[in-house]
Structure 1
Amino acid sequence: MKNVTTSESTINISGLNKLFNHRTRMGIMALLMVSEWVEFVSLRKTLKLTDGSLASHLKALVKEDQIAVEKKFINDKPRTSYRATAAGRKAFEAHLTELEAFIRQIDN
C-alpha cells in the first residue's frame, strides 16, 4: 500500500494486508476468527452473498493459506466448512492492529 498525506502528517498504511481490504474477505475472516469451523451455507447466509461471490472470495483466502477447507458428507449430503489457519489468524490480527493504528492517527 502507500502513504497517505493529511494536512498535518504522513500516515503509513503499508502494514495493511491487501487480501483483507475487501469487505467480504474481512467479513469471512471476522466470522472465522470467532468460530472453529463455519459451514459454507452459514457464511453465505450471514454475509448475504451469492454462492459464486462467496466461493470466489473463499478461493482467494484458501490460495493464500489464510483459511482451510474441509469437505465431508453428512447424511449423504456434502458439507463444506472453513476455518482460519494459524497463519491466517496471525495475518488478520496484524491487519486489524494496523487498521486500528490508522484510525487512531486519523482521529488525532
Structure 2
Amino acid sequence: MTTLCDGMEVEFSYLRTTLGLTDGNLGRHLELLAQRGYISMRKTYNGRRQRSWIQLTPVGEAALAAEARVLRSILATIDGVNHAESVP
C-alpha cells in the first residue's frame, strides 16, 4: 500500500516488479485489499493485451495512515525504552 500512497495509479506489472512478487501472489494480495475497499482496480486493453491499474482509495489512505500511527507509537516506545536504558 505504501507503493500506492502518492495517489498515482500504477500498473500491475510495475507493482509485481517493484515488490518482487509472482503474478498469483500479487493478484491474491490485491484481491484482499480490494475486498476491504483499500484499493480500486480497473482494466484496460492495449490491443489484445489486458492491463490492470491499481490505485489506493480514500479508505485505503485512512487505513495506511492508521497503521503508520500505530507503527510510530511502537517506535516511540522502543526509543523511550532504549533511551531509559542508556541513562545511568
TM-score by length of 2: 0.86
Counterparts of 1:35 and 1:45 in 2: how far apart (Å)? 19
| 1:51-70 alignment runs, 5 A limit | 51-70=23-42
- Size of the aligned set, in residue pairs, is 80
Corresponding residue SS for 1:81? strand
1:47 aligns to 2:19 (yes or no)? yes
Establish whether residue 84 from structure 1 lines up as the match of residue 35 from structure 2: no
The alpha carbon displacement at 1:35 in A equals 4.2
Which structure 1 residue ranges, 4+ long, deviate > 4 Å from structure 2? none
Residue 33 of structure 2 is aligned to residue 33 of structure 1:
no
CA distance in 1, matches of 2:51, 2:15: 12
Q: Which structure has more helix as a fraction of its residues?
A: 2
RMSD between aligned alpha carbons? 1.0
Identity of aligned residues (%): 34
Q: Which letter does structure 2 place at the counterpart of 1:92?
A: L
TM-score normalized by the length of structure 1: 0.70
- Name which of structure 1's ranges 46-55 and 67-76 shifts more when overlaid on structure 2: 67-76
Q: Which runs of 5+ in 1 are unaligned?
A: 1-28
In structure 1, which of residues 74, 80, 100 is the aligned counterpart of residue 46 of structure 2?
Answer: 74
**Following TM superposition, by how much is the alpha carbon of 1:74 offset from its aligned partner in structure 2, in angstroms?**
2.0
- Which consecutive unaligned segments of at least 5 residues does structure 2 have? 81-88
Letter paired with 2:42? E
